[in-house]
Chain A
């Protein structure tokens, strides 16, 4: 772009009437989106696949590791969020993230890689075939959802950058912009939000970088434009609005672990046997259900991931 970024042509200026009524437009848009999502849900998988093809995200593959459980309604997935960058209340993200700018957006990959790179988000979406992954999501607060994510296997991206033999961990960094992320104006957490995975966890086929859910682009409150999804770990491992991935040789710091090391470990694997010091992790409430259900080891993905932790004391490495 040759023009200065702050110069806006008249044609792009929002008419005052629209600006003044922006909230109504937003809510109209939200209502429309919900209506469409409801309609999409009513169709069979095949029909909604067609819908989605027309609505932005081209999905190349469906069904891998998919759970048959009832999916959490879009309305719940997009209004009940822990995303402290936009506020600590569950409905703060949906209330405050609407104007968050997710374009232009780049992801930098650096550190122990032979091919460090900065990738534009739209290039990234085009470069890898997108997959739908219907996963359980278990929050550390003992509630859970079932979410149809759209994303790319993290392993594919890591491999493309050709990690060196020193690459033992992947560190993730989230966006810092207090002007757009009001929650960052208070030091509730140590910004930027950072997370990390062991390299074998990061390249496990279950781990994805999500760019959408319910067949559409990721809503801002769910971590747009790019977030991590590691379904066998507690939700806080799923860092949102990722701007940087660094391959490193030692275990990187992670935000909640820094905040309370005795409560949130680096691994944060879902485990009904290992309680949070302040509450039990044995059960969870599935959003939309009354009775609590039993929490499953590795959130029900033990067959896929248990081997990653063979020989480890999961009580110590929680």
Chain B
């Protein structure tokens, strides 16, 4: 992808040797897949050994919520990592990590629905309407659903890349709502939610900086060539 814009200078080593590269990438992808399942495996093991505290339902919800936010932050870190360090591997696993964020969010929500509330729909409805931390948490989960549904290659084709991309910007909103959900839930110790918040702010700052830089570069090049062409990407920050 990057090679299109900046062709490899002659003599520079090729990043991936043909034949070996795809295999390595596939191996890396599998490793990430397994890694993403580790929090769940750990939860299962702790459940088997009764290590989920005296209040296992609350513990399971807390842990699943923690991992949902963690995977959301990791997903949102893919592009900034490329901008900062030129890394590209994470772009190949971004979709998978994003789907894991949804997976953990779904487990978190199901635990609330089934174990914590025992499907008491009137209580759940009252919670969603009356308890603002549940309102925003629920909203964040709902926002993730269309993203998960349209995560296939086919969906990108059907929607067209531009539209697909615009829809998937909802992930920013979901992540911010997720952090607010956490902030509003804790009683006094804001350390963990603040760290998630700081991570999001940092990642947004990197995105903003890179898009401003790109725009400045585009303006410069257009003024040099004397053309008033809009910056690439129609001014939408990457």
Q: Which residues of A contact B (CB under 8 A)?
A: 72, 75-76, 79-80, 84, 88, 90-91, 141, 143, 186, 188-189, 259-260, 278-280, 283, 285, 287-288, 290-292
Contact = CB atoms under 8 A, between A and B. Distances in A.
Contact of B185 (A84, A260, A278): A278
A76 B52 CA distance: 11
Contacts of B123: 280, 283
A278 B132 contact: yes
Interface string B184-199: 1101110100000000
B55 A91 contact: no
Interface of B: 53-55, 57-59, 115, 118, 123, 126-127, 130-133, 184-185, 187-189, 191
A90 B187 contact: no
- The A interface is mostly helix, strand or loop, or mixed, namely loop
B118 A259 contact: no
Given A141-B187, A189-B188, A278 B53 contact: no
Contacts of B127: 280
The 10 closest A-B pairs by CB, nearest first: A76-B54, A80-B54, A88-B189, A287-B54, A188-B189, A188-B188, A80-B53, A90-B53, A143-B55, A278-B133
A272 to B, nearest CB: 13
Contacts of A141: 187
A288 B54 contact: yes
B68 to A, nearest CB: 19
A34 to B, nearest CB: 13
Given A278-B132, A280-B126, A259 B188 contact: yes
Given A143-B55, A283-B123, 10 more contacts: A84-B189, A90-B54, A90-B55, A189-B188, A278-B131, A278-B185, A280-B130, A285-B57, A288-B54, A290-B115
B55 A287 contact: yes
Nearest to A255: B188
A279 B53 contact: no
Contacts of A278: 131-133, 184-185
